Chain A
Amino acid sequence: MSVENPTISPEEPTMSANEPTMSPDAQPTEMLEPSRSQPSKTTQPAPSAGASARASLRDGLAVKLEKLRAFYGDAEQVKGIDLDFHANEVTAIIGPSGCGKSTMVRCINRMHEEVPGARTEGKVLLDDFDVYDSSVDVVAVRRAIGMVFQKPNPFPTMSVFDNVAAGLRLASRGRGDLHGKVETALRGAGLWEEVKDRLSEPGAGLSGGQQQRLCIARSLAVEPEVILMDEPCSALDPIATLKIEELIDQLKAKVTIVIVTHNMQQAARVADRTAFMLGGELVEVGPTQQIFTNPHDSRTEEYVTGKFG
C-alpha cells in the first residue's frame, strides 16, 4: 500500500516528562529490588544452555520487525510492517479493533503460529537475531520474550508461589534458590508486600489487579529481555490499572516493553514511543508526545483526536 512507513522518529529520546524517576543511566536493579534480603539474585546471569543470543539478563533487547506479515488461513491480518522497538523503552501500539495490533505482537514471540492455520512471513529480529530462523528453538524465543495477556490468567490449580515458580519450573530452571527467585519476581511486579503472607493460597483467589501483577511476576521470573503486553489493563479497574502503569514505568529499566492498548490516555502515560496501526498496516510511529500532539499522518490525527475508532 502507499503507506510509506514514516519511521521518521527524530532520535530525540523520550518524553522526559513522563519519567521523573528514571534517567537513562540509573541502576536498574537498584530500583526494582529495594536492597532487601536478595540484593543480587537477578543480576547474575543464570547459566542456561543454548542461550547464546542473550546479551545480558539485566537489559532489554531491541526488537526489529522487517516486512512482517501475518495470516490466518488466507486472510492477511498484518500486511508487511517494519518497526523498531528500542531497548529499555516502552512502545505502545494503538489502533482500532481488528487492526492487527495483537496479531503483530503475538508474532514477536511466535505465539501467532499456535493458532491453527496461522502463519507468518518476514523477520522479527531480536538484537539482530531472527526469531523465525529455521535453527531457532521456539521455546528459547519465548523464554526471552515474555507475554502478559488481556485477561489475568493465573494457573487455577496453583498457589501464588507456584504460579510464579511455574515459569521457572516449566522452563526447567526451577532449581537453585527458587524461593529467592519467586520473591524477586513478586517484588519486581510490586506484589510481594500484598501476598507475602498468602503465598500458599490459590492464585485465583487474588483480586483482578493482583492476578494481573501475579501474571507479570510469572513472566518476570524467567528473566525475559522483552515483555509483550496485550491490553494488560482492559479487564482492570482504574486503580489496578494505575498500579500496572507504575509497574511498567519501573520495569523498562530491565526489559523492553511492547504494550497493546485501546486506551490512548494509557499510551500517553506509559509509552516512550507510540505506533499507530490501521487495517494491518503501520501508519505512523514516533515519540509518544509527537504522535499525540503533532502526528504526521492525518489518519493518526483523526484517531487520536477521537474522530474514528
Chain B
Amino acid sequence: MSTPAQTFERFSVSPSRRRKDRIARGAVVAATVVALIPLVLIVYYLLSKGLGSWSPSFFTTDPTGNTFFAASSIGGIKSAILGTIEIVAIASVLAVPLGLGVAVWLVEYGRSSRFAHTVRFFVDVLTGVPSIMFGLFIYIALIVGTGTSYAAYKGAFALALLMLPVVTRSAEVVLLLVPGSLRESALALGAPRWKVIFRIVLPTALPGLLTGVLLAIARAAGETAPLLFTAGVTMKTEFKLNGFMNSLPIQIYTDVTSPTTAVVNRAWGAALTLVVMILLLNLFARLLARRSSLG
C-alpha cells in the first residue's frame, strides 16, 4: 500500500525528536560536569597544597607552639592523627552496634508499631540536628554539669551521638532491602528469629551496612564542632581518655586561622591526611565485604 518513501518517513526519527534528545542529553551531561567541578577542585587543591607539607617527620612529630618561626620548627600532626583515630574508634564502638541494633529492631520487630514510628521520627530529627548541638549537649551534660574539664571520651560521646542516627537510618534502609522471602524461607526451615537475623539478614545486607557505617565514620572523623568544646585543643600526643586530646579537624581549624604560611600549609597537609585515611578505611571495608559475601 505505502511506497518505500512513505515507510521511510513513518519510521525515521523526526528532526524535532532528534533536537529534543540532544537538548536533554546536553542538559544531563552539563549537570554532571558542573557537579564535578567543585569535586575536582577540592581534590586538586588538597593534593597540590597538602602534598607539599607531607614529609616523614610530618607524621611522626607533634605540632609545636613555635608557629612564628621557620617551617621546620612547627612540627607535624602526629597527635592529631592518633587523636582522631582514637576518638573516632571509641565513637564507632559505641554508635555502630547501638545504631545497628536500633535498625534491626525497627525492621525485624518494631515494623509499623506506634513505638517504631516514634523511634523513626526521633532518629530523623537527630539526623537533621546540626553537629555543634551534639557538642553543646555533651558540654552541658558532661562538662558544665559535672564541673569537670574537657576530655577525649567526652568528644567521643559527642561523635557517637552524631553517628547514631546516621548508622540507624542507613542500616534500616539496607535491611528493608533484604527480600522478605529470604526471611520467610529461613523461618520456614525452623530457624529461630534471632538466627534468621544473624545468619541470613545481616550477612545478606553486609555490604550495604558497611557502606552506611563508613559514611557515618567518615562524617564523624571530619567533624570539628562537636570536638571543639568536648575534647579540647592540645598539641601533645595523649592517650589518656579523660584528658585533652588533639584531632585532625581541630588541628586544621586552629592551623588555618594562623598568620604563618607554614602553619596554614600544615592545615592542608592535615586535611589531605584525613581524606586519605577515610579513603583507606573505605577500600579496606569494601575488600572485607567482597570477601565475606563470596565466602
Contacts and interface: CB of A to CB of B under 8 A. Distances in A.
Are these two chains actual partners, yes or no? yes
B199 A166 contact: yes
Nearest to B202: A157
A65 B214 CA distance: 51
Nearest to A171: B190
B203 A157 contact: yes
Contacts of B181: 149, 151, 153
A109 B184 CA distance: 11
A153 B182 contact: yes
A50 B204 CA distance: 31
B109 to A, nearest CB: 11
Contacts of B192: 139, 170
Contacts of A202: 294
B259 interface: no
Interface residues of B, number: 24
Contacts of A149: 181, 184-185, 188
A7 B1 CA distance: 64
Interface in B164-200: 179, 181-192, 195-196, 199-200
A140 interface: yes
A230 to B, nearest CB: 10
Contacts of A170: 186, 189-192, 195-196, 199-200
Contacts of B183: 114
A171 B187 contact: no
A169 interface: yes
A167 B192 CA distance: 11
A153 B203 CA distance: 15
Given A149-B184, A153-B179, A169-B199, A142 B190 contact: yes
B111 interface: yes
A46 to B, nearest CB: 13
B191 A153 contact: no
A166 B184 contact: no
A153 B187 CA distance: 13
B161 to A, nearest CB: 31
Given A157-B293, A202-B294, A171 B188 contact: no
A111 B190 contact: no
A215 B204 contact: no
Interface string A113-157: 010100000000000000000000001111110110101010111
A181 interface: no
B112 interface: yes
B189 A143 contact: yes
B189 A156 contact: no
Interface string B198-214: 01100110100000000
B183 to A, nearest CB: 8
Contacts of B187: 111, 114, 142
A155 B189 contact: no
A156 B189 CA distance: 16
Contacts of A69: none
Contacts of A219: 188-189
A202 B184 CA distance: 20
B185 A171 contact: no
Contact of A111 (B188, B195, B293): B188
Q: Interface residue tally of chain A, by bracket?
A: 20 to 34
A118 B184 CA distance: 15
Interface string A92-127: 000000000000000001010010100000000000
Contact of A167 (B112, B190, B293): B190
A218 interface: yes
A222 interface: yes
A151 B184 CA distance: 12
Nearest to A224: B190
A257 to B, nearest CB: 15
Contacts of B186: 155, 166, 170
Nearest to B190: A143
Contact of B189 (A140, A146, A157): A146
Contacts of B293: 157
Contact of A139 (B179, B190, B199, B204): B190
Nearest to B181: A153
Contacts of B185: 147, 149, 153, 155, 215, 218
B189 A167 contact: yes
Contacts of A153: 179, 181-182, 185
A109 B199 contact: no
A116 B179 contact: no
Interface in A150-186: 151, 153, 155-157, 166-167, 169-171
A143 B188 CA distance: 7
Interface in A263-306: none
Contacts of B112: 116
A83 to B, nearest CB: 20
22 contacts: A111-B188, A114-B187, A140-B190, A142-B188, A142-B190, A146-B189, A147-B185, A147-B188, A151-B181, A153-B181, A153-B185, A155-B185, A156-B182, A156-B204, A157-B203, A167-B190, A170-B190, A171-B189, A171-B190, A171-B191, A219-B189, A222-B190
Given A155-B204, A156-B182, A222-B190, 14 more contacts: A111-B184, A139-B191, A142-B189, A144-B190, A149-B184, A153-B181, A153-B185, A157-B293, A166-B200, A167-B190, A169-B199, A170-B189, A170-B199, A218-B189
Interface of A: 109, 111, 114, 116, 139-144, 146-147, 149, 151, 153, 155-157, 166-167, 169-171, 202, 215, 218-219, 222
Ranked 3 nearest A-B pairs via Cβ: A143-B190, A170-B191, A147-B188
